[in-house]
Amino acid sequence: MKTLSIRYMPKRKVSKWSKFEPPLLQRSLSFLLRDLLPSLVILIVLSLCVLLVAGKIDRAKHSHTVNMVDAGSHQ
């Protein structure tokens, strides 16, 4: 019996780890996704807003400078 238990111990350990590893990976992945997805979405939305605002400011500046140049050339 002792030899049997010794022979089966490593197998049992291996099976335990093989059973235990995928759920751990899946859990960590799902946890990461659950934690990071909202922040990623918020970051994307914020960056889009910043880009839109920057584009609007750029356009406003550009049109303003064009108007200034036009006014200067007309004088």
Q: What is the pLDDT of residues 44-70, one digit of tens each?
A: 999 999 999 988 877 777 666 655 555
CA-based radius of gyration for the chain: 31
Report how far residue 37's alpha carbon sits from residue 40's, in angstroms, rounded to the nearest whole number. 5
Where are the domains positioned within the chain?
A: 6-75
How high is the pLDDT of residue 32?
A: 74
How high is the pLDDT of residue 33?
A: 75
Q: Read out DSSP for 17-33?
A: HHHHHHHHHHHHHHHHH
- Pair of tokens at residue 13: 């350990």
